[in-house]
């Protein structure tokens, strides 16, 4: 077991104290002088006088001012051998020296040394010195413990992690699916490595780059790639680490961070989740000296204030750009705002190829097919997808990942963990009619997305699911598409109403009705797709942020509000009537599909459309076919 020097010191301090007092008492100069003449046998003063009268004493050494004597005497009982004896002399024996002189006995007097006061002073000082030294080392030890009492003077220091050359293990080749963002940031790396290429034509390096995008799109991964590529000092910190419970700590940490950065310029500072400290100022209720606002003010000053900073590039990431202060976003602070969006099908294929490098995937698995099936997935979602597929492969004791594990992993990521299938009962048949209501309405409407599969296997909170494959490049949505989505979402409720009657309608359509109401209201209030005309009556607002939007104000009169409610109801009722009509007209194919679904529990989209085509004309849907 390896002991630290502090532990050894704590054990040796008591030993040193005890040893010192023992040395002072037993090995002082007086005691050391006596130790050379100490006799092992004592003699009484009376016997000493008898030896003196019998001429047996050969020499006498007097110590301690004549109170102790070491006597060398001849003992006849020991064959006249000389023996050293110690004698305690009485204080009232002044004639002893005269008698020794008259008898011709060799004697010597050893006067006491006058250094007892010095040793007494040192003895009194040694314990306080050792105590203070021990406390000092204990304080030093506690100061290295995170959150210890020694950290009291370090609150104002920056908590940024600093690396002279950040070896993150991530390069630009490891970042896929966001090529536009990579190009923007590669210029920053090039400027740090070869600044003369830009300064020759009068270009200046951007002071700040703000990465904006939904969670999981790769903003932090890009920052790691910049750190790995640049080869310059790299500071990384989270926005929440600036603000503490103590007033002024955040601003002090900002000053300390930029002070260190200026000492190591050129360098990069990466602030993750900058919205924690960069939110809009003046939004608090009641005003006051907001600690977060003071931290933001200091950050604004350091980024582009009176002094400014030279050779420091700030890269920040956030998924809430709407709450950031406008002074933070202006040129001169964050000159560039790089949007990191979810990848398209080509980007998803590149991301899948990166994450499939260290996984055993069967030959028949097509990454292109996976990319086509996962529209809207971010890089983190795709990484989680392949990881879940690998976990399922290991659980099923297979040697490689197959398409079956990929399909199950997609379902698990989107809808949740697979539950226990229902037994053949009335509840299972009702759920089958509900899900097939969604599927049949979506299939027979031209503007609706095609059906991918219908299943009765429970996942998450859903007892059954109907999957649709959305169009890939669907940036704009037409009125007919919105009406088709509302009609398809009401298909499950319409099937329950037509097949089982109004009294048997269940709560299974609760989530569908919420989506339907939201889409219909947006058609009326935001997109101008109603009889009220092309008016935007409601703005798209996020959550309540501090004091902003605390008191929601109405942007229209009560009369317009009543007309909005009427229009929403008209749209929903019209779509609901269409759903019930489609269910009634296709009752035969629905009954056949219900029996097949209860037997197989899952019907894929191609088989579903083939069966429906035997009973009704399936409209040909317009699908976007991406070029890989």
Of 143 and 210, the structure prediction assigns the larger pLDDT to: 210
Fold of 345-415: Helicase, Ruva Protein; domain 3 (1.10.8)
Long-range contact pairs involving 515-519 (C-beta distance under 8 Å, separation at least 24): 515/489, 516/486, 516/489, 516/490, 516/572, 516/575, 517/568, 517/572, 519/482, 519/485, 519/486, 519/489
The whole-number average pLDDT for the span 426-439 is 90
Please tell me the distance from the alpha carbon of residue 238 to that of residue 246, in angstroms, as a whole number: 18
> C-alpha distances in angstroms, 115 versus 17, 118, 119, 345?
20, 5, 7, 94
- List every span in the chain annotated with CATH 3.40.50.300: 161-282+291-339
pLDDT of residue 586: 93
Q: List active site positions.
A: 435
Architecture of domain 5-109: 2-Layer Sandwich (3.30)
Q: Which range, 48-57, 183-192, 318-327, is most confident?
A: 318-327
Please tell me the distance from the alpha carbon of residue 372 to that of residue 472, in angstroms, as a whole number: 8
Please tell me the distance from the alpha carbon of residue 459 to that of residue 461, in angstroms, as a whole number: 6
**Domain at 161-282+291-339, CATH class:** alpha beta
From 231-240, 450-459, 591-600, the region with the lowest mean pLDDT: 231-240
73-85 residues labelled b (16+ CB within 10 A) or e (exposed)? bbeeeeeeeebbb
pLDDT of residue 226: 81
- List every span in the chain annotated with CATH 3.30.720.210: 5-109
The whole-number average pLDDT for the span 42-50 is 79
- List every span in the chain annotated with CATH 1.10.8.60: 345-415
573: its two tokens: 């009722």
User: Which residues, 6+ apart, have CB-to-CB distance to 106 below 8 Å?
Assistant: 58, 59, 60
Q: Could you tell me the pLDDT band of residue 573, with boundaries at 50, 70 and 90?
A: very high
Pick the CATH number of 426-539+556-613 from 3.30.70.141, 3.40.190.10, 3.40.640.10, 1.20.58.760: 1.20.58.760
Please tell me the distance from the alpha carbon of residue 482 to that of residue 528, in angstroms, as a whole number: 13
Beta-carbon neighbour count of residue 185 at 10 Å? 23
Q: Could you tell me the pLDDT band of residue 119, with boundaries at 50, 70 and 90?
A: low
| DSSP structural state of residue 619 | P
Taking only the tens place, the pLDDT of each residue in 399-411 is 999 988 998 888 8
Mean pLDDT value across the chain: 78
Among candidate residues 327, 311, 329, the one with its CA nearest the CA of residue 207: 311
From 32-36, 135-139, 182-186, 436-440, the region with the lowest mean pLDDT: 32-36
Contact 259, 162 (CB under 8 A): no
What percentage of residues in the chain have a pLDDT greater than 70? 76
- Packed helices 426-444 and 479-489: angle between N→C axes, nearest 10 degrees: 170
Q: What is the pTM of this model?
A: 0.67
From 219-223, 389-393, 416-420, 600-604, the region with the lowest mean pLDDT: 416-420
On the question of pLDDT at 421 being above 90, the answer is no
Of 443 and 10, the structure prediction assigns the larger pLDDT to: 443
Cβ burial of 574 (10 Å; 0-12, 13-18, 19+) is: middle
On the question of pLDDT at 170 being above 80, the answer is no
pLDDT of residue 407: 86
Contact 177, 350 (CB under 8 A): yes
Please tell me the distance from the alpha carbon of residue 99 to that of residue 101, in angstroms, as a whole number: 5
Beta-carbon neighbour count of residue 412 at 10 Å? 19
- List every span in the chain annotated with CATH 1.20.58.760: 426-539+556-613
């Amino acid at each position: 077991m390896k002991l630290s020097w502090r532990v050894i010191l704590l054990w040796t301090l008591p030993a040193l104290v005890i040893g010192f007092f023992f040395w002072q008492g037993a090995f002082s100069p007086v005691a050391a002088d006596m130790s050379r003449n100490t006799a092992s046998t004592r003699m009484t003063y009376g016997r000493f006088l008898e030896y003196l009268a019998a001429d047996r004493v050969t020499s006498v050494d007097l110590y301690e001012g004549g109170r102790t004597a070491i006597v060398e005497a001849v003992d006849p009982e020991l064959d006249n051998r000389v023996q050293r004896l110690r004698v305690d002399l009485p204080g009232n024996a002044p004639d002893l020296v005269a008698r020794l002189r008259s008898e011709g006995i060799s004697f010597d007097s050893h006067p006491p040394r006058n250094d007892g006061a010095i040793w007494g002073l040192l003895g009194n000082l040694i314990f306080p010195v050792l105590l203070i030294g021990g406390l000092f080392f204990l304080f030093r030890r506690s100061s290295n413990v995170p959150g210890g009492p020694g950290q009291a003077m370090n609150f104002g220091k920056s908590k940024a992690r600093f690396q002279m050359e950040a070896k993150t293990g991530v390069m630009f080749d490891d970042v896929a699916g966001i090529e536009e963002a990579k190009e923007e940031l590669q210029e920053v790396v090039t400027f740090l490595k070869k600044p003369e290429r830009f300064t020759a034509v009068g270009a200046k390096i951007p002071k700040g780059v703000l990465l904006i995008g939904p969670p999981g799109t790769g903003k932090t991964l890009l920052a790691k790639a910049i750190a790995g590529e640049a080869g310059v000092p790299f500071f990384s910190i989270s926005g929440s680490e600036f603000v503490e419970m103590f007033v002024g700590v955040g601003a002090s940490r900002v000053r300390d961070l930029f002070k260190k950065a200026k000492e190591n310029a050129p360098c990069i500072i990466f602030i993750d989740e900058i919205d924690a400290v960069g939110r809009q100022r003046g939004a608090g209720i009641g005003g006051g000296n907001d600690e977060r606002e003071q931290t933001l003010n200091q950050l604004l000053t350091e980024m582009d204030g009176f002094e400014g900073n030279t050779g420091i590039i700030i890269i920040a990431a956030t998924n809430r750009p709407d709450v950031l202060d406008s002074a933070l976003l202006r040129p001169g602070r964050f000159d560039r705002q790089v949007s990191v969006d979810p990848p398209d099908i080509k980007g998803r294929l590149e991301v899948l190829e990166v994450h499939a490098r260290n996984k055993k995937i069967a030959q028949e698995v097509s990454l292109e097919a996976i990319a086509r099936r996962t529209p809207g997935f971010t890089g983190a979602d795709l990484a989680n997808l392949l990881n879940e597929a690998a976990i399922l492969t290991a659980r099923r004791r297979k040697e490689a990942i197959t398409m079956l594990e990929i399909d199950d992993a997609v379902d698990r990521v989107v809808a949740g963990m697979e539950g226990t299938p229902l037994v053949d009962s009335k509840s299972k048949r009702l759920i089958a009619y509900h899900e097939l209501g969604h599927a049949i309405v979506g299939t027979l409407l031209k503007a609706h997305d095609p059906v991918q599969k219908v299943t009765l296997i429970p996942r998450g909170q859903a007892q059954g699911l109907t999957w649709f494959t959305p169009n890939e490049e669907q940036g704009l949505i037409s009125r007919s598409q919105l009406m088709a989505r509302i009609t398809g979402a009401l298909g499950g409720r319409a099937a329950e109403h037509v097949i089982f009657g109004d009294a048997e309608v269940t709560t299974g359509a609760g989530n569908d009705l919420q989506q339907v109401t939201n889409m219909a209201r947006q058609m009326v209030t935001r997109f101008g797709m109603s009889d009220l005309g092309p008016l935007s009556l409601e703005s798209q607002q996020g959550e309540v942020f501090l004091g902003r939007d605390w008191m929601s104000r109405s942007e229209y009169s009560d009369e317009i509000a009543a007309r909005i409610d009427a229009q929403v109801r008209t749209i929903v009722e019209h779509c609901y009537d269409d759903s019930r009509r489609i269910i009634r007209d296709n009752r035969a194919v629905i009954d056949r599909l219900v029996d097949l679904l209860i037997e197989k529990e899952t019907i894929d989209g191609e088989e579903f459309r083939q069966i429906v085509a035997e009973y009704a004309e399936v409209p040909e849907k317009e699908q976007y076919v991406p070029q890989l």
